[in-house]
Amino acid sequence: MRMRVLLAVLAVLATPALAQDTGRYAGDWQVTTGDGGTGMCRINLATNSGTFGLWATSLGCLGPMAMVNGWRSEAGNLHLLGFDGGTVATFSPDGRVLDGRFADGAPAVLAPLSGQNVASNNPPAAQNCIRHPASGYCADAADIAVPTAFPLWVRGAHALTIRAQPRMDSQKLGETSAGQCFMIDACQATPEGIRCHIAPGQNDLPSGYVLKHFNQDGTTFIGFQNFC
């Protein structure tokens, strides 16, 4: 009986730390490999559960990074997981970046693109900024900006309602999902904020309008990132 109580107490104590690490690392990262190459390789660490650990996706990556499918944090370290659940690379905080190594010992660095504060476990500072919904930290300026060149492939940062017209009371046609890529062909100002138009025939999504930024509990977040 005492053992059960002890295990329950330990589980309760561990939960806040796990949630804290999740918020610390969630978001987008620029990958730099040991040979100094970066290219277009980016990693997105989501907060929803995947096949192994939490969900992760890679964009424009080659080699081991192309196999990243999940992630987990343990004792302050970040572990990127492959399609088989094995560890692809392990990283730890080093100033403003994450320094790590692949399973074969080759070095790599992750630089935050979503305002993640890897040097601290503290919650995001209460500063006035537009945030990334996955991490809660200030979003990258390039993703806060309203697109002006079209067509443009973007990636959802949060589930977004698709409206038939650029107004809140318009018919709901569907919904995008976090991490989903789609093409927009126009953006315009509305009383509820900037709404961008999803071009026809995009990943089985209906053609309609989504918010570039949205407000939740008094905080403004980006609805999508300006790349995919």
Domain edges within the chain:
2-112, 141-225
Q: What is the mean pLDDT of the chain?
A: 82
Is the domain spanning 141-225 CATH 3.40.50.300? The answer is no
List the beta strands (DSSP E) in the chain. Answer: 27-33, 42-49, 54-59, 70-74, 77-81, 87-94, 97-102, 107-112, 152-156, 161-163, 172-175, 181-190, 193-198, 209-211, 213-216, 219-222, 224-225
Q: What is the pLDDT of residue 83?
A: 93
Model confidence at 10, pLDDT cuts 50, 70, 90, reads: very low
Looking at residues 29-37, what average pLDDT do you find?
Answer: 72
Report for 112-116, 117-121, 183-187: range of highest mean pLDDT: 183-187
The amino acid at 70: G
Tell me the per-residue pLDDT of 44-79, one tens digit each, with 9 for 90 and over: 999 888 888 999 999 888 888 999 999 999 877 899
CATH number of the 2-112 domain: 2.40.128.10
130-168 pLDDT tens trace: 888 887 878 877 788 888 899 999 999 999 999 999 999
